Structure 1
């Protein structure tokens, strides 16, 4: 790796090992690798790094399912204030939902991917997927793919629309409006569920996984049918469905900010959002009380995911991140993204983390370098206790 390829940005004293791991990840990926990593400790930014062509610390990239963390931070705030109740039926807030065997689904079951509404029988166009309220209207009338509460499966493209409709019915405002006012603007969080036109110049288009013989062979071995549950959940049953990596490159997705996958952010924005959730930040109190953070981090779904076809752990609207990275403190919560993103809050250790990259990793989901970066972050924090 040349000097020009070295990570740019800053780290606080004691966190140099994070920069070293980031440099190693860049060297291993090749010259077109572009990524950002940011971390906070007790509300203070201790890591702020980026590397690669075109990218800066302020660049915005589509963050796929990391959007779900932003969306469910809004839900957590509304539960904290008593506007929503996790133990009320979804149909209490949204009467049209209570048909086709869904009348008794609790809000906490919906938020933990247990409602059986991972997709639609006929799929969605891109413009329909970008419209959370249109997705919610379709799914409200549909019979679930499994008996609600009996199992769970990742609602990859739909959970934010379902959560958002509950928020809209209970408050008269969209989830995106709540997030912009109460999180993005109030805490100067560079995370957007609905990107304004004047911010488009900051966006880097997302890029596909590099095609290799190994990848093509793996895809062939793991292929599921378009009308399988996995195919429906990822909208492969619609004839005009684009590749997953392409979704953030549609302006309709970026402008509307569908809460399941349509967020656009920098790593600074992802890390700052989770820092604001659990720590005092610039003189402001944390968004969540310790009790609310613990409630939303509690595992509700664990075991075989019917959509992902592998073992997963979900909390309430968030992923149970400590089940993915055992070095994290119990009760850590956050969400990854298909493009390699990872972001979380660890209340026990006062840490918040955000990682973003431009090219999707193989396999999809949180990029493998996150594990090394997170271990280096925790080792540094432990030495400062």
Structure 2
């Protein structure tokens, strides 16, 4: 069994056991981290596997969608954004090609149809959200806006980020730094400073079995495949997710769809500030805002992935995947298999991060199922 390092608070010993038998073993070739806050206090800080310690910074990919959604939620709460206004009311160019009636609410719920562009994005556009947004504004959507939902894998951040810039004159990165990261001392970065590069550990590719490799090839290579378009597989060369996370220019710019860098400790702390009081401060989101962003806005068959899933306002409503969580649990996963969320019903936050890609890791690697059950059970027992 892989050695596990770190600490757990009294009552959370079972989480260490679960991490030792499941998570560290699953990620033994690349390393994994697990961090949990309960009632404003860190109660789990664990790591294991090769090449990772608790202080390591990892490419956490679509976790940045959740952080972007949090910034947008704060701006809605402030009254700076109205989710029922048309996107084009802030961003007139977006009205092209039949997108003039799409609301911010629909955009955040992955209903815009703006999942990509013909020929794919250039490397420069993948690094620069504003350049990607300009192409998306002029481009036709891949389905009638608002008529259905599909995962905007590489475009969600550029779209939401452009609305924030147009409405407030400031970037999501700036809002996050000033309102969340700096005040709470959070080790999750939208724009990784050069001086923190020595702590970064490169993302490692999936090493699939023959059966897994055959499965991963299914549906690939069709120019009309929404899956290929959304994940940049129709580009020349095709989008390489591992290379993306390992590129310094991506880490420096942190495109908002998948460019965030941090640790499990960092993301657990982000969501701890949502789950309840932290450092004597009230939760970032009011009960009314929390109820609105966690409410299911899109559900059913995803037009991109073909799977059944659900989205709130940018966040994933976690009860749709983990029914043991509370009704307002919100968060987001990352393609290597990471998962992070807040469960305000328990004043609980959770973040699991792994270095090597997991097979079908996008919604969260399978080991999250056991880890989340162990964490919620321990939190419930601590509350008795």
Q: TM-score, normalised by structure 2?
A: 0.97
| 2:280 counterpart of 1:294 | no
Q: 2:185 aligns to what SS in structure 1?
A: coil
Is contact 2:6–2:46 with CA below 8 Å preserved after alignment? yes
Is contact 1:207–1:246 with CA below 8 Å preserved after alignment? no
Is contact 1:278–1:290 with CA below 8 Å preserved after alignment? no
Q: 2:351 aligns to what SS in structure 1?
A: strand
How many Å separate the matches in 2 of 1:315 and 1:134? 26
Aligned ranges 1:1-385 → 2 under 5 Å? 1=1, 5-26=2-23, 28-29=25-26, 31-223=28-220, 225-365=222-362, 366-385=364-383
Q: Quick check: 157-166 or 215-224, which moved more?
A: 215-224
Is contact 2:23–2:367 with CA below 8 Å preserved after alignment? no
How many Å separate the matches in 1 of 2:68 and 2:382? 33
Summarize the Cα distance change of 1:30–1:190 in structure 2 as closer, same or farther, 3 Å threshold: closer
How many Å separate the matches in 1 of 2:60 and 2:373? 22
How far residue 30 of structure 1 moved from its aligned partner, in angstroms, is 6.7
Q: 1:362 aligns to what SS in structure 2?
A: coil
Q: 2:184 aligns to what SS in structure 1?
A: coil
Is contact 1:206–1:248 with CA below 8 Å preserved after alignment? yes
How many Å separate the matches in 2 of 1:204 and 1:42? 30
Q: TM-score, normalised by structure 1?
A: 0.97
How far residue 241 of structure 1 moved from its aligned partner, in angstroms, is 2.8
Is contact 1:278–1:293 with CA below 8 Å preserved after alignment? no
How many Å separate the matches in 1 of 2:217 and 2:355? 25
How many Å separate the matches in 2 of 1:68 and 1:15? 29
Q: What root-mean-square deviation, in Å, do the aligned CA atoms of Structure 1 and Structure 2 show?
A: 1.3
How many Å separate the matches in 1 of 2:26 and 2:275? 33
How many Å separate the matches in 2 of 1:27 and 1:83? 43
How many Å separate the matches in 1 of 2:349 and 2:187? 15
How far residue 29 of structure 1 moved from its aligned partner, in angstroms, is 2.9
How many Å separate the matches in 1 of 2:42 and 2:31? 21
Is contact 2:220–2:228 with CA below 8 Å preserved after alignment? no
Q: 1:316 aligns to what SS in structure 2?
A: coil
Summarize the Cα distance change of 1:193–1:381 in structure 2 as closer, same or farther, 3 Å threshold: same
How far residue 113 of structure 1 moved from its aligned partner, in angstroms, is 0.3
How far residue 130 of structure 1 moved from its aligned partner, in angstroms, is 1.3
Q: Quick check: 215-224 or 324-333, which moved more?
A: 215-224
How far residue 88 of structure 1 moved from its aligned partner, in angstroms, is 0.7
Is contact 1:126–1:241 with CA below 8 Å preserved after alignment? no
How many Å separate the matches in 1 of 2:26 and 2:285? 37
How many Å separate the matches in 1 of 2:221 and 2:17? 39
How far residue 126 of structure 1 moved from its aligned partner, in angstroms, is 2.3
How many Å separate the matches in 2 of 1:146 and 1:104? 14
Cα deviation, 1:237-285, whole Å, max 9, x if unaligned, reads 1102342222110111100000100000100011100001231111122
Q: 1:354 aligns to what SS in structure 2?
A: strand
**What is the count of residue pairs matched by the alignment?**
382
How many Å separate the matches in 2 of 1:52 and 1:221? 31
How many Å separate the matches in 1 of 2:340 and 2:215? 27
How far residue 31 of structure 1 moved from its aligned partner, in angstroms, is 4.1
How many Å separate the matches in 1 of 2:193 and 2:288? 34
Summarize the Cα distance change of 1:286–1:116 in structure 2 as closer, same or farther, 3 Å threshold: same
How many Å separate the matches in 1 of 2:361 and 2:224? 21
